[in-house]
Structure 1
């Protein structure tokens, strides 16, 4: 028997005349409704007479010797005190009932193989006539649950025979129990729908108790109850006792709110209470905890069924109910107590805390309940006689059985190396260095749930010598560029060689292997070559270095695009950097000809344009240490010709002048005219820098004979002279 934790028993079962319950308690109580349990000699009329004017209405609880009395919500305790007396077993408020569900999650999809259901199904898919009641939100047909498999039910919410599901939870639960899909357990079992909740959060203890009793009276062998309450109620306790007396096995989810408070009816009688686990057997995040030791087993949830993922304890309870249905189908005369015992006795201990519920093993249950099994498992070690094995050896045998395998042992030369059980299909590893190289016998021995043993022995060779690897190419270098051509010498009987995981090809007639690979920088070696022999022994070598596939970059070039230069100009490229191997050199090309190179920042080269005028196409080629290069182009204009200059108005050659004389000049240049100057006898006597140039001088102060020229400068410094004129002073 369970230890019943009942911190609220005094308030809910006995002490209705005591102080009011806490606010949290009141939230779970249905106001204005009393449940009065009667003795065999008790009378509803007597109770109602005692309550008097506080009795606003009453009705019997179907199937149980109890009545529900409607009373003023604010005078419930007073009405309860009046009701107590001869013929009354208990007086309690009715309480809310909810179903343990959480949102389904495709990323965490569960599987029936967490509970080894496939092995259980080998005893048969169930049997028509094995009736499993689903007491919850009702049941409607679904793709995995045809209408022909749903028996006529009852609706205690609406008070009629239509138990259709308006919520979806009950249908999904039924599809897990008896569906034909991947998440269905007992595909040939029949479903009895009992609607006691309008939705997963909309139920009460009165309807739930009545539904349990009715399901038992209809001959249900398994009663799957989806709803729970954390308040102890005599009514639910009586309903459980009634159903168990009828031979039914009740299965109830533990709830999915993460609390430790025992839930009801799961804490009554021999109800199988079920919590949830994920695929690794660890508690689901929202499952209720077993600190009070009232949860019997755990099962998978988050199962895809009826077009949704059903998660929470109602899903896990459905798995257990389906397995119970398989058990009743496999052995018609089996009792509920025998099925319950097989479920609990065969459960696998939790991988977490010792008090966490053990995990349902459906294969164990059906083997314990089903008929005789005298067929031993059929075993293959996964190896062939004479096969060479080395390094750590993974033993992953193939084992088949007419029902299910419980345990597998691996032996080497008769000595047990390791075993796996429930699940058995996890690998066992052998260290071939223990015991040395040579001929050895690996034996795989498999046990089924009935104790039948099958085994297979294979004689193999342990070889622990690995091939030796030397990387011949590339030669040692601090930096490489992709793709990398790799050549390696492998000594030993290598059967496969990889460079950075890419298969290498053997060069015919040699022990050398080659491959072209892509590499990238990481914290360790740049790449490695690994060679394996037939036994799986691996030898390797690593290449240290870094890869540099990115060429240097720059931010600007001086002079700028379209700039005009003359003579010898200095060209500079700025902001040059290379983050991996570093800048090796910067070369400058002009009109396709290498002008010069620089190896240190700032990178500058002089370009001599001589007498050339015209476009100059400059190209900087930046190369890093690894050999990556990038070019930057710029077009400038060489201008090495002086301005066009002429005298537009002035005294003629050999003219005689006196006083102030003016010379009018025209000058132009693509680079712009900087100034024009008038020279007399080689000396500048006037200059002008504004177009419409006028040069004036006083002849009185100069020699009688004057040699006169005009010269013009452009803005780059190029100069041009006019022809010389001779003037005479009067």
Structure 2
């Protein structure tokens, strides 16, 4: 039979509580079942009772109940049923009142406040009215520093850098407990600027002599207990940024070097500074692009290429136009398209992502020039002496040369407008053919009709 359920009728029951009922039986108790408001234990999160299994706990029963999912400020019926080895059982019922809301409070100074060493008065504000005890601990878990059982909830703490920040244990009348961590930071030391790194792998700029690009990002590694509250970046003595990470438009610096200074303040007012000189690479790679500006292109396709060099290496070359979809490359074959101008845009970037952009306009020309006899004997004429022939030729991109062909072989070439040739019939047979052939500057060719002459 039950001597005690381990509970008192009507007592306040917190969010979690364990208790030990006292039950005896001549044969021996084998198990104790528990039900809350008629609901039996069914999972690890539900009420449960366990029999002691060791020599020290033999004959003892440990029960636990969690009320997190039950209505607050309501009655709860706990029913215990004990069973012996013969299958006999006995039941005991206790009604308790649920008070599962944990107490609350706020520390003043506010949690997380940074300070120097001092004697500090800490006050708990907004303390739940049912709190019956508050204990100040040295950290968690830590030794008890002080205890209060009623208002005013004020504590004196000697703040030094070698002790843990106080944690307050609030206990209400039902036994609910809240741990309130002040997270105070005691900082008596100045910050230490350990290193300053640039982007793209440029580390330890604080040593001086390092390099940055025209657009640089500087990041400082600062060791400080309370943390950096304020930063100032100066370039050649001029305040340029107050951000922790310095996004620097170094191209705006006229010279090839600059003096950079970083000054930081921590949350307790301590300060530190570091200055250094950096070299600035503001120039993109040197590039050579093929074809040349306004080069004439003949054929269905053509090749464009780029050669780039830079003291800090070339990390990217890419054809951006005409299609804006060429992956990084140094040589690309493009469709020529219809006659007319086409714009090519190449870019190259160095190790600091300084860019060089080169625009080229090429002229696609797949149209042959025109060529005709201007002054020449008529077809099938008889020639008895040297004769002068002249030709006309035209092309919108220019004529490169006009040739005189006799029996299909080149016998003369003229590159100047007014194209003139001397034909000596004695050099050829009794009968021979004559043609004019014109080349434009793109390499397109046109041949005139044949004329046959006799000697």
- TM-score band by shorter chain is 0.3 to 0.5
Q: Which has the higher helix share?
A: 1
TM-score normalised to structure 2 length: 0.40
TM-score by length of 1: 0.27
